[in-house]
Structure formats: C-alpha cells, structure tokens
Chain A
Amino acid sequence: MDGHLMLNALLPDLVVVAGLFLCLGADYILLRGRDVAERHRLISRIASWTLICGLLAGLLGSRDPQLLQLQIGDGQLVITPVRLLFKLTAFLLALVVVELIPTRPATSGHVSEQYALLLLSALGVGFLATSHHLLVSFVALELLSLCLYALTALDMGRRAGAEAALKYFAIGGLSSAFLLVGISYLYGVTGQLNLGKVSAYIHTLQHLPPLLGVAFLFLLVGVGFKLAIVPFHLWAPDVYQNAPTAVAAWIATGSKLGSTVLLLGLMLPGFDAPNAYSPVSRLLSSGLAVLALISMLVGNLGAMRQGNLKRLLAYGGVASAGYLLVGMVAFSDASRVAVLFYVLTYALASMGAFAVVALVSDQLGRDAEIDDFRGCWKSMPGIAALFLIFVLSLASIPPLSGFIGKFGLFFAALQPPPVPEEGFGGWSWLVAVALIMSVVGLYYYLKVLRAFLVTGEPALPPVRVGTNAWVVLVMLAVLVVALGLWPEPLLEWLR
C-alpha cells in the first residue's frame, strides 16, 4: 500500500492524537497546581484548536481526488465523500461539545482527562465512519464506548450519576459481547471480514444457513443498544439525565452517527439484494420493521410522560431511531440517502437542543426540569429563539431540516419495489404508524416550547453565555435552517 497516501488519509486522526497528548501534557506539566477554571480555559482552547486543525486537514484531504476513493487493507480504511463527511461532522460536533463542558465544575478536579476522552471518542466515531470491515468497526466502536462510559461517570459523587454510569457500562459491555458473537458467527459463515465481501458471499448462497439468522439477530442486539432501539433502550433515559449534559449531547449525536454507519454496513446484504423478495432482505427488513414499530411506540409514548427535558430528549431519540429504521426497511438507494441525511440533521438539531440545556441549566446547577424553563423567552430571548429552531426541527416542522429528513425516510419506505409480488403489501402500514407517532411527537415537543415561550414569569435568572458558545449555537441553528431550505447539495453529496 502507498504509505504516503495512507498518511494523508489519517492526517486528521494524527492531528487529534497529537492534540490530545498536548492537552494531557500541558495539564500535567505546565498547569500543575493552578486553579481549575484557568486549566479549563487553556485546555479547552487546545482541544478546540486540535479539532479545528483536524477539520482543516480533512478538508484539505477532500481536495485530493485520489484520497476520496481510497481503500486500504480489505476495507479497513475506506474513504469516500460520504464517509469523510461523517467523520468531519463528528469532529465538528465534538468541537461543539468542547464548548459545552462546564468550566467551573463543582466536584471534579480532572480537566484534561475530559477533553482527552472526548478527543479519543471523536477518533472512534471517525474510524467507525471510515471502516468497512467487521474487526475495525468493532474496535472503533469499543474505542468510542469506553470513552463514553468513563465520561458518563464524571459525576460519580452524585449517586444518580454513578448509577447511570454503572448501568450504561454493564448493559454496554453485554451488548458489545452480543455484537462480537454476531461478528464471529458472520465471519464463521462467510469467512470474510470486509462487509462488501460478506454481502457478496451471502448472495452466492443457495439457501440461507440458520446460523446467519442468529448472527444477524446478535448483531442487531449489539447495534440496537448503541442506537437506543427498543427493547435495548433502557439505559438511555437514565444516562441522558444523569450524565453531564455535554456528555449526554455527545452520546446522543456522535455515537449515533457512528453506529448508523455501522448499521448500514451490516445491513449491506439487504441493500445489495437484487430485489426486495430475496430471502436475506426479507429476513433483515422484517427484523428492522419490528424494531422500528416498537421503538416508535415506546419512544413517543414514553416521552409524553416526562417532566425532565433531558429524559424527554432521550425518549425522543429512541423514537427517532425508530424513524431511521422505517427509512431503512425499503433497502433502496433512496433509503440509504434518506437515512444518512436524517441522522445528520437529527444530530445537528439534537446537539443544539442539548447545548441550550447545558448552557442554561448546568450553569445554574439545575436538573433541567421542563418547568424550570418557564418564561425563558423573557429573560433570555436569544437562547429561546435558537431553542425554538432546534426543537421545531426535532419535531420535523416544514421549513427545517428535520422535516426534509423525515420526509425522505417515509418517502423511501413508501416507494413500491420494482417488481410487485403477491403477499407483500409494501411498508405503507409502517409509515402510517410512523405518521401517527409523529403527531404524538409534535405534542410533547410543543409542550416544551410552551414552557419556553408562553407560560408565566421567568423561573430562571438570565445566564451569561460566552462568545464561543454563541458562535457554535448560531452555527448549528444556521445549519439546521439551511439544510431545510436548501437540502439539494447535501443530498447530492450523499448519493
């Protein structure tokens, strides 16, 4: 393989690795014994410049046409425009998270470790996005998950924080074991680690061996946990509520981006199938449809009962994973594009909503009850306006990108397969359920907005928001609006 090209391809990652050693080194050597706030200031600057340099390195790489069709080591490192976009979006979201980490922590004296783990998990998402290989994907997913377990436990002083971290770690470890067993069965049946070759091998089989079904079951359990799909979602509300808000934002967005790419890779045999009736795509799509149905039901109905904004966003995330699967069941090119577009727009809007929660309630030391935000419009009009954009996009109201994303998903599921067959009526019933559930979703998101915009006297004193935080918030809002009004360039890029 060409060493120079590989070095170029990995330049963003190498920049991030260098930056994280700089964070740790500066904290341990230069800033020993300094004030926590001062350490936070310097280390967060290093972390954000590291990510900006990584982003620039990636953008420079995207100008090299040779790099954009790179395949190294049997799919271990595959760079395409879409994969590069996902990797750089992950870095961008990590950059937002850096700005959200509170600089005056009440308990922890650990500063550089937080930023280092965040950078390491961004690396994990990046590797996941550029991998087309079972082994590399698993290792990258573990890299990401281990960072998230440790970051969730940051608030171990609080009983609820420790409980959430332990729950996340225990269930996460179990799900990784499921994923690994699924991968080893898949490897055992096909003898391939490259996902493309796995899919090609499956399509040469005359009939499906039962072991393959077991393998896909285990894989769905493993990835289902990472994406918080029902019935593997039980960790999500507790973790989102009790982890530091910045970490919850990262779990809800970065980890979702990476896991979606992995799920698309694992479902490749369905996408590669000659038509929607081949046994393997029937097997996979019926599995996905069941998970989609229960995820939408449990997520939306669960969110209605929540009084805590972070728990509500967690259930909203479960529901959105359900919509994602609705888009995937059709296994067409349109559905692949729709899934990728939706998960990008969901990540941006969700990051924005969490960012507002982090900036407002964390600074005041509150637990983000919805009632706390009463009358936010009066005390903090700018923040409330941005929050309006993010929540309306999550609720998929027309001009915003969330609407385009969800529309694409449902449209892809509704398109009839090229050759109709007896006994298969398409997925219109699933889309019907999804539409009804979207109305339910509208109800609880509007309930949150009512607290922000309409009700009564301000419950919170206004908080000071730093310049950097404003910049990232406005950037997210502009992206959410622009992708709604003008989605064609991105859709074209994803095709």
Chain B
Amino acid sequence: MHATLFYLFAALALMSGLLVAFNPFSRNPVTRAMFLVLAMIALSGLFVLLHAYFLAAIQVLVYAGAVMVLFLFVIMLMDLRESERRRVGAFAAVLGLAAVSGLGALLFGALRQAPAGTEAAVGSTRDLGRLLFTQHLFPFEIVSVLLLVAMVGVIMLSQREAE
C-alpha cells in the first residue's frame, strides 16, 4: 500500500513537472501553472508518506495556494498569451541532452546503490518548532533578514517609473 502510493505520487509529480516545462498539447501559461499546482500537491502527498504532516500542509497552503495565486495574478496582469515556440540551436540541444542524460544516469546509478532510509521523519509541528527555535535559531534569524531583502528589493524594482 505504502509503496504503491509512493510510486503513484512520485509518477504524478514527475509527469506534471514535465508538463510544466514542455507541454505538447497546450502553450497556455495558465495550463502550465495548473500543472505546477498538481506537482506541488503530489509532493505534499510524498511528505505525508514520510510522516512529515506539517510540511505537507504547508506545501499545500503556501505553495499550491498562496504562491500559485500570485503566479496566476502575474500571468493575468501581464496578459501573457501563448508563449512563442523557442528556437533551440542543434549544438545547444545536443549539449543540453548530453548533460541531462549524463546527470540522470549518474543520479540513477548512485541512488540505486544507496541504502534505503530507515528512520521515519519527525515531522510534527511541535518538533519542527522546537528545532527551529533552539538548534536552528541562528539560520532562522538570518532567514528573517532575508525576507527584509525581498521587501527592499521589491520596493526598489517595482517603483521604477515613480520618479
């Protein structure tokens, strides 16, 4: 049961991820964004299987919910139509394919030999919160400074023509 669900969610995540990048049926950005939502939901399914319930909930709430709404806002505000078919040179295509297949083969080979994990993740909200505010307090504080960067950066980049 567990293994079946894992393969189901993994295949779903991979398939919808691929459909975000190259969708043979539609070039509409909204369709792609919807496949991204599907990929996020499949990932949160994988988190549930790892007993990381809090992370799964956050994945759905923040990524599939809030972030994707922003994506859709941007797509609609900028009125993006069907994206143009991009021309890819033969050299770039061969090089890219070689890099991707090489990396894929390397990863596949390495992961097949890696022992399976035995420990279940400790994913309850309480444990996560405790870790964040004790052991990992310092990186947590740096992340709060990082959010300040995002704020200042957005102010700087969004109000260009105000002057």
Q: Chain A residues in contact with chain B, CB under 8 A?
A: 17, 24, 36, 72-74, 76-77, 107-110, 113-114, 116-117, 120, 123, 127, 133, 135-136, 139-140, 142-143, 146-147, 149-150, 153-154, 156-157, 188-189, 209-211, 213-214, 217
Question: Does the CB pair A139–B152 fall under 8 Å?
Answer: no
Within 8 Å CB of A77, what residues of B?
A: 138
A146 touches B153 (CB 8 A): yes
Q: Is the CB of B162 within 8 A of A76?
A: no
Cα of A77 to Cα of B135 in the assembled complex, Å: 12
B114-154 CB contact bits vs A (8 Å, 1 = yes)?
Answer: 10010000000000000000011111001101101110110
Q: Is the CB of A209 within 8 A of B113?
A: yes
Within 8 A of A (CB), among B68-103: none
**Contact flag A136-B139 (CB < 8 Å), given A143-B146, A156-B157, A213-B110:** yes
CB <8 Å contact, B152 and A136: no
Known contacts A17-B145, A73-B137; 15 further A-B pairs (Cβ under 8 A): A72-B138, A74-B135, A76-B138, A107-B163, A113-B155, A139-B143, A143-B142, A143-B145, A146-B146, A146-B150, A150-B156, A189-B114, A210-B110, A210-B114, A214-B107
Interchain CB contact under 8 A, B145 and A108: no
Known: A117-B149, A139-B146. A73 touches B138 (CB 8 A): yes
Residues from chain B with Cβ under 8 Å of A108 in the complex: 156, 160, 163
Q: Size range of the interface on B?
A: 20 to 34
Q: In the docked arrangement, what's the CA distance between A349 and B139, Å?
A: 32
B106 at the interface (CB under 8 A from A): yes
In the bound complex, CA of A76 to CA of B134 (Å): 12
A208 to chain B, nearest CB (A): 11
Contacts of A209 in B (CB 8 A): 110, 113-114
Q: Is B111 an interface residue (CB 8 A)?
A: yes
Contacts of A139 in B (CB 8 A): 139, 142-143, 146
A211 contacts B111, C-beta separation under 8 Å: yes
Which of B148, B157, B159 interacts with A153 by CB under 8 Å? B157
Q: Which residues of A contact B106 (CB under 8 A)?
A: 213-214, 217
Q: Could you show 27 A-B contacts with beta carbons less than 8 Å apart?
A: A17-B145, A24-B152, A36-B163, A74-B135, A76-B139, A77-B138, A109-B159, A113-B152, A114-B156, A117-B156, A120-B145, A120-B149, A127-B142, A139-B139, A139-B143, A143-B142, A146-B150, A150-B149, A150-B157, A154-B156, A209-B110, A209-B113, A210-B114, A211-B110, A211-B111, A214-B106, A217-B106
The 10 A-B pairs with the shortest beta carbon distances in the complex, nearest first, are A109-B163, A150-B153, A210-B110, A113-B156, A211-B110, A214-B110, A76-B138, A139-B142, A110-B156, A211-B114
Within the complex, the shortest CB–CB distance from A105 to chain B, in Å, comes to: 9
Residues in A with CB closer than 8 Å to B111 are 211
B24 within 8 A of A: no
The one of B142, B148, B150, B155 in contact with A136, judged by C-beta atoms closer than 8 angstroms, is: B142
Of the residues B136, B150, B152, contact of A116 by C-beta under 8 Å: B152
Shortest distance between the CB of A204 and any CB in chain B (Å): 16
> A210 and B146: CB pair below 8 A?
no
Name the residue on A nearest B159 (C-beta).
Answer: A110
Min CB gap B107→A, angstroms: 6
Q: Cα distance A77–B145 when bound, in Å?
A: 16
User: Chain B contacts of A24 at CB under 8 A?
Assistant: 152
CA distance A152 to B110 in the complex (A): 38
Q: How far is the CA of A140 from the CA of B149 in the complex (A)?
A: 12
* Alpha-carbon gap, A142 to B150, bound state (A): 11
- With a cutoff of 8 Å between Cβ atoms, the chain A residues found around residue B110 in the complex are 209-211, 213-214
Q: How far is the CA of A340 from the CA of B70 in the complex (A)?
A: 44
- Which residues of A lie under 8 Å from residue B153 when comparing CB positions? 113, 117, 146-147, 149-150
User: Whole-angstrom distance between the alpha carbons of A381 and B162 in the complex?
Assistant: 41
User: Once bound together, how far apart are the Cα atoms of A116 and B65, in whole Å?
Assistant: 31
Once A113-B156, A120-B148, A214-B107 are accepted as A-B contacts, the answer to whether A136 and B138 lie under 8 Å apart by CB is yes
Q: Considering the chains assembled together, what is the distance between the CA atoms of A110 and B150 in angstroms?
A: 15
